[in-house]
Amino acid sequence: MNQKISKRLKQVAQFVPQDARLVDVGSDHAYLPLFLVESGVIRYAIAGEVVSGPYQSARQNIQDSIYRDCIEVRLADGLAAFEEEDQMTVITIAGMGGRLIADILEAGKDKLRQMERLVLQPNNRESDVRAWLERNDFQLVAETILEEHGKFYEILVAEPGRKELTAIERQFGPYLVQEMSQDFQQKWKREAVKLQRALYQIPANHTMERTRMGEKIRQIKEVLDVSQ
Protein backbone atom coordinates (compact mmCIF):
# COMPACT_ATOMS: atom_id res chain seq x y z
CA MET A 1 0.00 0.00 0.00
CA ASN A 2 2.69 2.49 0.98
CA GLN A 3 4.22 2.32 -2.48
CA LYS A 4 0.87 3.08 -4.13
CA ILE A 5 0.11 6.33 -2.42
CA SER A 6 1.11 9.48 -4.27
CA LYS A 7 3.27 12.29 -2.88
CA ARG A 8 0.13 14.45 -3.10
CA LEU A 9 -1.99 12.13 -0.96
CA LYS A 10 0.88 11.64 1.50
CA GLN A 11 0.94 15.40 1.99
CA VAL A 12 -2.82 15.44 2.53
CA ALA A 13 -2.33 12.69 5.12
CA GLN A 14 0.20 14.85 7.00
CA PHE A 15 -2.63 17.17 8.01
CA VAL A 16 -4.90 14.51 9.48
CA PRO A 17 -4.53 14.61 13.27
CA GLN A 18 -3.74 11.55 15.36
CA ASP A 19 -6.88 9.53 16.22
CA ALA A 20 -9.15 11.56 13.98
CA ARG A 21 -12.38 9.91 12.88
CA LEU A 22 -11.99 10.56 9.20
CA VAL A 23 -14.45 10.89 6.34
CA ASP A 24 -12.63 10.76 3.01
CA VAL A 25 -15.07 12.09 0.41
CA GLY A 26 -14.44 10.91 -3.15
CA SER A 27 -12.11 8.24 -1.84
CA ASP A 28 -11.90 6.31 -5.13
CA HIS A 29 -9.47 3.45 -4.34
CA ALA A 30 -9.51 4.36 -0.60
CA TYR A 31 -5.72 4.72 -0.61
CA LEU A 32 -5.78 7.68 1.75
CA PRO A 33 -7.74 6.08 4.62
CA LEU A 34 -5.84 2.83 4.13
CA PHE A 35 -2.52 4.66 4.36
CA LEU A 36 -3.61 6.52 7.49
CA VAL A 37 -4.85 3.40 9.27
CA GLU A 38 -1.77 1.47 8.22
CA SER A 39 0.47 4.27 9.52
CA GLY A 40 -1.30 4.19 12.90
CA VAL A 41 -2.57 7.76 12.59
CA ILE A 42 -6.25 6.84 12.67
CA ARG A 43 -8.28 3.83 13.77
CA TYR A 44 -11.53 4.48 11.97
CA ALA A 45 -12.55 6.03 8.66
CA ILE A 46 -15.46 6.23 6.28
CA ALA A 47 -14.52 6.20 2.61
CA GLY A 48 -17.32 7.89 0.66
CA GLU A 49 -17.81 7.43 -3.09
CA VAL A 50 -20.64 8.49 -5.34
CA VAL A 51 -19.66 6.49 -8.44
CA SER A 52 -20.14 2.74 -8.50
CA GLY A 53 -16.79 1.77 -10.15
CA PRO A 54 -14.55 3.59 -7.66
CA TYR A 55 -16.86 2.49 -4.80
CA GLN A 56 -16.36 -1.16 -5.80
CA SER A 57 -12.63 -0.65 -6.11
CA ALA A 58 -12.48 0.93 -2.64
CA ARG A 59 -14.51 -1.97 -1.20
CA GLN A 60 -12.24 -4.50 -2.84
CA ASN A 61 -9.09 -2.78 -1.55
CA ILE A 62 -10.46 -2.71 1.98
CA GLN A 63 -11.60 -6.34 1.76
CA ASP A 64 -8.15 -7.37 0.56
CA SER A 65 -6.48 -5.58 3.47
CA ILE A 66 -6.29 -6.46 7.14
CA TYR A 67 -8.13 -3.24 8.00
CA ARG A 68 -11.69 -4.37 7.18
CA ASP A 69 -12.89 -3.43 10.64
CA CYS A 70 -11.37 0.05 10.53
CA ILE A 71 -12.68 1.45 7.25
CA GLU A 72 -16.28 1.50 6.03
CA VAL A 73 -16.90 2.21 2.38
CA ARG A 74 -20.20 3.96 1.70
CA LEU A 75 -21.84 4.73 -1.63
CA ALA A 76 -22.98 8.30 -1.11
CA ASP A 77 -22.97 11.78 -2.58
CA GLY A 78 -20.59 14.10 -0.72
CA LEU A 79 -21.24 14.54 2.98
CA ALA A 80 -24.21 12.15 2.85
CA ALA A 81 -21.54 9.50 3.56
CA PHE A 82 -21.87 10.10 7.30
CA GLU A 83 -24.41 10.97 9.99
CA GLU A 84 -24.05 12.90 13.21
CA GLU A 85 -24.04 9.67 15.24
CA ASP A 86 -20.90 8.51 13.41
CA GLN A 87 -19.10 11.24 15.39
CA MET A 88 -16.64 12.02 12.66
CA THR A 89 -14.10 14.76 13.35
CA VAL A 90 -12.15 15.36 10.14
CA ILE A 91 -13.06 15.46 6.45
CA THR A 92 -10.64 15.08 3.57
CA ILE A 93 -11.66 15.94 0.01
CA ALA A 94 -8.83 15.55 -2.49
CA GLY A 95 -8.28 15.40 -6.22
CA MET A 96 -11.37 17.31 -7.39
CA GLY A 97 -11.97 20.75 -8.80
CA GLY A 98 -12.27 23.59 -6.31
CA ARG A 99 -15.79 24.41 -7.38
CA LEU A 100 -16.94 20.82 -6.84
CA ILE A 101 -15.33 20.78 -3.39
CA ALA A 102 -17.13 24.01 -2.49
CA ASP A 103 -20.42 22.56 -3.82
CA ILE A 104 -20.00 19.39 -1.76
CA LEU A 105 -19.34 21.43 1.38
CA GLU A 106 -22.28 23.72 0.64
CA ALA A 107 -24.70 20.82 0.05
CA GLY A 108 -23.76 19.22 3.37
CA LYS A 109 -22.95 22.24 5.46
CA ASP A 110 -25.36 21.36 8.28
CA LYS A 111 -23.13 18.39 8.99
CA LEU A 112 -20.01 20.46 9.42
CA ARG A 113 -20.85 21.76 12.89
CA GLN A 114 -19.17 18.80 14.55
CA MET A 115 -16.04 18.93 12.38
CA GLU A 116 -12.73 19.82 13.93
CA ARG A 117 -10.82 20.07 10.67
CA LEU A 118 -11.22 20.03 6.90
CA VAL A 119 -8.29 19.03 4.71
CA LEU A 120 -9.00 20.03 1.13
CA GLN A 121 -6.91 19.50 -1.97
CA PRO A 122 -8.54 21.18 -4.95
CA ASN A 123 -6.96 20.53 -8.35
CA ASN A 124 -7.90 24.05 -9.47
CA ARG A 125 -9.94 27.12 -8.44
CA GLU A 126 -8.49 27.12 -4.95
CA SER A 127 -9.88 30.63 -4.44
CA ASP A 128 -13.44 29.23 -4.69
CA VAL A 129 -12.65 26.94 -1.78
CA ARG A 130 -11.08 29.73 0.29
CA ALA A 131 -14.08 31.97 -0.36
CA TRP A 132 -16.48 29.21 0.70
CA LEU A 133 -14.53 28.59 3.92
CA GLU A 134 -14.51 32.30 4.70
CA ARG A 135 -18.28 32.63 4.15
CA ASN A 136 -18.99 29.60 6.31
CA ASP A 137 -16.95 30.28 9.41
CA PHE A 138 -13.94 28.14 8.70
CA GLN A 139 -10.50 29.68 8.90
CA LEU A 140 -7.37 28.46 7.23
CA VAL A 141 -4.82 27.15 9.72
CA ALA A 142 -2.26 25.82 7.24
CA GLU A 143 -1.58 25.51 3.54
CA THR A 144 1.01 23.85 1.43
CA ILE A 145 1.84 23.45 -2.23
CA LEU A 146 3.67 20.65 -3.97
CA GLU A 147 4.61 19.56 -7.44
CA GLU A 148 4.07 16.03 -8.72
CA HIS A 149 4.45 14.81 -12.30
CA GLY A 150 4.64 18.39 -13.55
CA LYS A 151 1.44 19.54 -11.82
CA PHE A 152 1.11 21.81 -8.81
CA TYR A 153 -1.30 20.96 -6.00
CA GLU A 154 -2.40 23.14 -3.12
CA ILE A 155 -3.64 21.71 0.17
CA LEU A 156 -5.85 23.88 2.37
CA VAL A 157 -6.41 23.04 6.03
CA ALA A 158 -9.30 24.73 7.80
CA GLU A 159 -10.82 24.69 11.28
CA PRO A 160 -13.88 26.40 12.73
CA GLY A 161 -13.28 30.12 13.16
CA ARG A 162 -13.50 33.45 11.40
CA LYS A 163 -10.77 35.21 9.54
CA GLU A 164 -11.31 37.59 6.69
CA LEU A 165 -8.95 37.27 3.78
CA THR A 166 -7.72 40.02 1.49
CA ALA A 167 -8.36 39.54 -2.24
CA ILE A 168 -4.69 38.57 -2.68
CA GLU A 169 -4.87 36.05 0.17
CA ARG A 170 -8.05 34.54 -1.26
CA GLN A 171 -6.47 34.13 -4.67
CA PHE A 172 -2.98 33.02 -3.68
CA GLY A 173 -3.40 31.67 -0.14
CA PRO A 174 -2.40 33.56 3.02
CA TYR A 175 0.18 31.00 4.13
CA LEU A 176 1.44 30.27 0.62
CA VAL A 177 2.06 33.97 -0.06
CA GLN A 178 3.98 34.27 3.20
CA GLU A 179 6.06 31.19 2.56
CA MET A 180 6.71 31.98 -1.12
CA SER A 181 8.14 28.51 -1.75
CA GLN A 182 9.86 27.51 -4.99
CA ASP A 183 6.79 25.50 -5.98
CA PHE A 184 4.52 28.48 -5.36
CA GLN A 185 6.72 30.74 -7.48
CA GLN A 186 6.93 28.16 -10.25
CA LYS A 187 3.19 27.65 -10.28
CA TRP A 188 2.40 31.32 -10.63
CA LYS A 189 5.20 32.06 -13.10
CA ARG A 190 3.79 29.29 -15.28
CA GLU A 191 0.27 30.69 -14.87
CA ALA A 192 1.45 34.20 -15.84
CA VAL A 193 3.05 32.82 -19.03
CA LYS A 194 -0.17 30.95 -19.85
CA LEU A 195 -2.29 34.05 -19.32
CA GLN A 196 0.12 36.19 -21.34
CA ARG A 197 -0.19 33.77 -24.27
CA ALA A 198 -3.98 33.84 -23.93
CA LEU A 199 -3.91 37.64 -23.84
CA TYR A 200 -2.13 37.74 -27.23
CA GLN A 201 -5.01 35.72 -28.69
CA ILE A 202 -7.73 38.13 -27.53
CA PRO A 203 -8.69 40.57 -30.31
CA ALA A 204 -7.78 44.20 -29.63
CA ASN A 205 -11.44 45.30 -29.61
CA HIS A 206 -12.35 42.93 -26.71
CA THR A 207 -11.28 45.58 -24.27
CA MET A 208 -12.95 44.28 -21.12
CA GLU A 209 -11.60 40.77 -21.54
CA ARG A 210 -8.10 42.11 -22.23
CA THR A 211 -8.25 44.37 -19.19
CA ARG A 212 -9.37 41.51 -16.95
CA MET A 213 -6.62 39.25 -18.21
CA GLY A 214 -4.03 42.02 -17.93
CA GLU A 215 -5.10 42.65 -14.35
CA LYS A 216 -4.65 38.98 -13.46
CA ILE A 217 -1.14 39.00 -14.91
CA ARG A 218 -0.29 42.24 -13.11
CA GLN A 219 -1.52 40.77 -9.81
CA ILE A 220 0.63 37.65 -10.20
CA LYS A 221 3.70 39.74 -10.99
CA GLU A 222 3.03 41.98 -8.01
CA VAL A 223 2.74 39.00 -5.65
CA LEU A 224 5.90 37.36 -6.95
CA ASP A 225 7.94 40.59 -6.97
CA VAL A 226 7.09 41.63 -3.43
CA SER A 227 9.04 38.77 -1.91
CA GLN A 228 11.98 38.64 -4.30
Site for ligand SAM in 64-103 (CB under 6 A): 77-78, 94-96
Q: Which is nearer to ligand SAM, 77 or 179 (CB)?
A: 77
Please work out the total of residues on this chain that contact ligand SAM, with binding judged by CB under 6 A. Answer: 16
The rounded distance, in Å, linking the Cα atoms of 59 and 46 is 11
Q: Which is nearer to ligand SAM, 4 or 206 (CB)?
A: 4
Q: Does 173 bind ligand SAM (CB under 6 A)?
A: no
From residue 25 to residue 44, what is the string marking binding to ligand SAM with x (rule CB under 6 A)? xxxx----------------
Stretch that binds ligand SAM, among 48-56, 110-118, 132-140, 218-226 (CB under 6 A): 48-56
Q: Which is nearer to ligand SAM, 155 or 158 (CB)?
A: 155
Binds ligand SAM (CB under 6 A): choice among 41, 71, 104, 115: 104
Q: Does 9 bind ligand SAM (CB under 6 A)?
A: yes
Q: Which is nearer to ligand SAM, 76 or 195 (CB)?
A: 76
Q: Does 50 bind ligand SAM (CB under 6 A)?
A: yes
- Return residues touching ligand SAM (CB under 6 A): 9, 25-28, 48-51, 54, 77-78, 94-96, 104
